[in-house]
Amino acid sequence: MTSTKGKRRGTPLSRPFIKHGVVSLATYMGIYRKDDTVDKGMGTVQKGMLYKGYHGKTGRVYNVTQHAVGIVVNKQAKGKILAKRANVHIEHIKHSKSRDSFMKCVMENDQKKKEAKEEGTWVKLKHQPAPPREAHFVRTNAKGSELLRAIPYESMA
């Protein structure tokens, strides 16, 4: 069964390995509120599906109804970025994790500021690059060093 020629084979609408079949009930139990960041798309359910160009894009919820949500997705059209609105069924979205690391950093910075204010000190909140590694010895297990160099080109003619 190599290269079965299914309609959605190799497209963003295809389902991942061992994820085919009926959609789990947990998908329908998600709570979405206005201004939540959501993304993705799922090809299992056809009803209320996003247009294929928006699959995998991240958007923001602007309207919530019984079975669907309205989302705003940015679409690039030539030199412009347009805010497109779409009404999508719940199966086709999930909460985005794109802001999680940012929000974690914000919380840590707030905590550092609070501690610094209590101590009466100043704290640096900018992102710091990783420091260089500590000095250490490289052991070769009693093998001598080997000199590597380019092999000179030899003409075959």
pLDDT tens for each residue of 74-98: 999 999 999 999 999 999 998 999 8
Tell which wins on pLDDT, 114 or 138.
Answer: 114
Given phi > 0 = left and psi -120 to 50 = alpha, else beta, which region is 106?
alpha
**Cα(145)–Cα(4) distance, integer angstroms:** 54
d(CA 87, CA 43): 16
Question: How far is residue 15's CA from residue 20's CA, in Å, rounded to a whole number?
Answer: 6
Give the whole-angstrom CA distance, residue 63 versus residue 52.
21
- Distance CA(74)–CA(42), nearest Å, equals 19
CA atoms within 13 A on the CB side of 47: 4
Asked whether the predicted pLDDT for residue 2 surpasses 80, the reply is no
Per the listing, tokens 């997705």 go with 73
Q: Facing residues of 72 across strands?
A: 60, 85
pLDDT for 19 equals: 85
Please tell me the distance from the alpha carbon of residue 70 to that of residue 34, in angstroms, as a whole number.
9
The CATH architecture of the domain made up of 25-95 is: Roll (2.30)
Instruction: Give the whole-number percent of the chain exceeding pLDDT 70.
Output: 98
Residue 58 has what pLDDT? 93
Phi/psi for 16 (5° steps) reads -65, 170
pTM here is 0.67
| pLDDT at residue 1 tops 70 | no
Question: pLDDT above 90 covers what percent of the chain?
Answer: 52
**Between 42 and 134, the higher pLDDT residue:** 134
